[in-house]
Amino acid sequence: MRAIDLSAVSWRKSSYSNTSGGECVEVAPGVPSLVPVRDSKDPARGALLFAAPAWAAFLDGVRREEPGRAA
């Protein structure tokens, strides 16, 4: 697998994060066919790379989940 250089990407923090650094993730849009995701509390740890269709399917599933429903 080839290395992906993420040094120039702009990370966007989740809208669900809070000002005290609560549990949140950051994504870096604009990487062709991939969605890099990292822990905003420990960005030096690296990122997970998801294929764009897999990330879209994940988000769709999260959006469809009913509030208060146990998984």
What is this structure's pTM?
A: 0.75
For the cut 60, the answer to whether the pLDDT of residue 59 exceeds it is yes
Note the pLDDT tens digit of each residue in 1-32: 677 889 899 999 877 666 666 668 899 988 99
* pLDDT at position 28: 94
Q: How far apart are CA 50 and CA 37, in angstroms?
A: 8
Note the pLDDT tens digit of each residue in 29-46: 889 999 999 998 888 999
